[in-house]
């Protein structure tokens, strides 16, 4: 459903529907196997030191058509020091959902 104070487009989840995906992941110590993941801008400044994040299960959700499985492929994560004086870090990660998922008016592209 809609979350107040976010930048969600007005039509997104206007019905109040939610798309919950129970997903377990492992944040691995190993570096990303694919060079292209090290270029993901979401993770920071592009230093090639990102680590792999692996999905441990295939999540499901219930739609009007019944139980739907959602494919999840590995991604990457990174942790960067933001402010040394306060020891604040940013922790970012991503996974890919190649086929997306749709429940009512909520869509995971």
CB 105 within 8 A of CB 17: yes
CB 40 within 8 A of CB 96: no
Please give the average per-residue pLDDT across 11-28, as a whole number: 89
Cα dihedral sign for 25, 26, 27, 28?
Answer: negative
Dig out the tokens for 26 from the structure. Answer: 């492992």
Q: With CA atoms as reference, report the closest residue to 78 among 55, 50, 54.
A: 50
CB 28 within 8 A of CB 52: yes
Question: pTM, whole model, 2 decimals?
Answer: 0.73
Please give the average per-residue pLDDT across 2-14, as a whole number: 75
Q: Which residue has the tokens 């020891």?
A: 87
How would residue 15 be classed by pLDDT, with cut points 50, 70 and 90? confident
Q: Beta partners for 92?
A: 78
Please give the average per-residue pLDDT across 67-79, as a whole number: 91
pLDDT of residue 81: 81
pLDDT of residue 38: 52
């Amino acid at each position: 459903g809609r979350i107040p104070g976010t930048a969600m487009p007005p039509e997104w989840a206007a019905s109040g529907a939610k798309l919950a995906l129970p997903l377990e992941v492992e944040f691995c110590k190993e570096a990303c196997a694919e060079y292209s993941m090290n270029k993901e801008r979401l993770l920071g400044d592009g230093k090639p030191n990102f680590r792999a994040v692996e999905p441990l299960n295939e999540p499901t959700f219930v739609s009007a058509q019944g139980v739907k499985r959602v494919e999840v492929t590995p991604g990457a994560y990174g942790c960067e020091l933001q402010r040394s004086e306060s020891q604040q870090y940013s922790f970012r990660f991503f996974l890919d959902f190649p086929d997306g998922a749709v429940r009512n008016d909520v869509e995971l592209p």
